[in-house]
Structure 1
Amino acid sequence: MARGVRGPVSLRLRVRLLVLVIAPCPQPVGAASLLPTTISAMSKQLSFKLVLLGESAVGKSSLVLRFVKDQFDDYRESTIGAAFLTQIVTLDDGSTIKFEIWDTAGQERYKSLAPMYYRNANCAVVVYDITQSASLDKARTWIRELQRQADPSIIIALCGNKSDLEARRQVTKEEAQKYAEEEGLLWTETSAKSGEGVTEIFNTIARKLPTSPPPGARGATTSASRAAPGANGAPRGVDLNKQPNAAGGGDACNC
């Protein structure tokens, strides 16, 4: 008889337990907008392939390390083959750009591998050392190769690194700027050691990229587009070291 009584009681407990499990939990204040906001933010993120090119020892890896981790290593070894890193840039409109960065080796024996890394690249940073005039000649060679073989819409930035070594300068700003103007490149000088101008060059590139994904970019599309004039997607001869004026120049940065 005792077993007969426990049966219905046990059944009622199970029913109550089932109701408790199925019943929805009360939603915290503000939680209703959390999911749509998250989805909206995710829908604005695009991934773009960026490649770094330049002579060995100009500081390509140091630039990337400063940009991605805000670190500098005086004794960093030369890259073998290529290194891959990522970094996200948030734009003024709230959308985000994810850079998929290929840091290539500058040694001559790895030159034949370069096309594998700049193929389908959306943007390129070609680096030279302001204390080594030969490195600018090498940068010109890389730029000619990109212009011939890379995607026609690729954004190319010419970057003079080691601006902290002004006393040892061999490449004048005027020479590099004139070349950039002739070729329609973004141009600036940076110091991976001090961090000067590093974030600015990548942010400027990010602002030049289209918000609707071109071939090679991955991510959800958005309605706007930041298509820019010029053969490589940048205004012709943009000097990132110039101060923006009152009438415009919002894309310039003081690097």
Structure 2
Amino acid sequence: MSWDYIAKIVMIGDSACGKSSLTLRLTDDTFSEFHDVTIAAEIGSKVVDLDGKEKMKLQIWDTAGQEHFRAVTRSYFRNAAGCLLVYDITRAKTFANVQMWLGELRDQADEDIIIMLVGNKTDVGARQVETEEAQKWADENGLAGFIETSAKTGDQVLEAYSRVAQQIHANIKTGKTNIKDKRYGVRATTTGGAQQLNLDEGPVKKGGSTCC
């Protein structure tokens, strides 16, 4: 499938919040209760519709949430056009830590990066973070939006990524994002989808096993 733009999207948040599961649901429309722990980062991709005329390929960098990989994963924040900041609505600590993740992202990424707060695991009944609380936090911290998802059922997953893509596209159209500047993490393509972002990053690794 051809596309008009390609953009780097990073997934950040605590371990076991469902970042990998969200990516897998988007790219393969599948879900697994158990999978390998992400070490450093993995890459997936998905072409999404922007306005019925243009399409954007999202190059998704699913980063590790564990503390001992933090120094490595921070390097992947650079040159990102968008970010999904993920927490688990059933674990209050993961929501408390989004402030730390946001600070690290803003230290490394361009100031105009599109950030979407994502509360995952709405299919689980034991909620510890209220929707209103998360929406307030997103508003107070100047995020582009907030959404709740379920990687298990697929609810709102495509919508979450599409909102980020659409806001990146809007910034391109207004000139706020310069597609010729690598720092913005987005490129236009006229090669029918043959072009990739040259991000000069290291190898992708996996290991271990964890739940969603």
TM-score band (shorter)?
0.7 to 0.9
Summarize the alignment of residues 45-56 of structure 1 with structure 2, pairs less than 5 Å apart: 45-56=4-15
- The answer as to whether partners of 2:6 and 2:189 remain within 8 angstroms in 1 is no
Query: Corresponding residue for 2:208?
Result: none
Higher relative contact order (CA 8 A, sep 6+): 2
- 125, 131, 135: which one pairs with 1:173? 131
The alpha-carbon deviation at position 183 of structure 1 amounts to 1.1
Write out per-residue CA displacement over residues 44-66 of structure 1, whole angstroms, 9 at most, x where no aligned residue. Answer: 61110000001000000000000
For 2:210, the equivalent position in structure 1 comes to: none
**TM, length-normalised to structure 1:** 0.67
Output the CA distance in 2 between the equivalents of 1:125 and 1:214: 23
Counterpart-to-counterpart distance in 2, 1:94 and 1:173:
34
Confirm whether residue 117 of structure 1 aligns to residue 76 of structure 2: yes
2:147 matched residue in structure 1? 188
Using a 3 Å threshold, how does the CA distance of structure 1 residues 115 and 63 change in structure 2: closer, same or farther? same
Q: Which amino acid aligns with 2:142?
A: G
Structure number, greater radius of gyration? 1
Q: For 1:202-221, what aligned pairs fall within 5 Å after superposition?
A: 202-210=161-169, 211=172, 213=179, 215=181, 216-220=185-189
TM-superposed CA distance for 1:92, in Å, is 2.4
* Higher share in strand: 2
Partner of 1:98: 57
**Larger proportion of helix:** 1
Aligned residues: 179
**RMSD between aligned alpha carbons?**
1.7
Matched AA of 1:219: A
| In 1, Cα distance between equivalents of 2:65 and 2:110 | 21
Residues in 2 aligned to 1:204 and 1:214: alpha-carbon distance in whole angstroms: 22
CA distance in 2 between counterparts of 1:218 and 1:101 reads 14
Amino acid across the alignment from 2:39: I
Q: Secondary structure at 1:77's aligned position in 2? A: strand
Aligned-pair identity in percent equals 42
Give a deviation string over 1:5-27, Cα, whole Å, max 9, x none.
xxxxxxxxxxxxxxxxxxxxxxx
Runs of 5+ unmatched residues, structure 1: 1-40, 222-255
CA distance in 2, matches of 1:209, 1:58: 24
Structure 2 gap ranges (5+): 174-178, 191-212
What's the secondary structure of 1:87's corresponding residue? strand
Aligned-partner Cα distance in 2 for 1:72–1:172: 25
- TM-score with structure 2 setting the length: 0.80
CA distance in 2 between partners of 1:165 and 1:220 (Å) = 41
1:1-255 to 2 correspondence within 5 Å?
45-166=4-125, 168-185=126-143, 186-210=145-169, 211=172, 213=179, 215=181, 216-220=185-189
How much has 1:149 moved relative to structure 2? 2.7
Deviation at residue 82 of structure 1 after TM alignment: 1.1
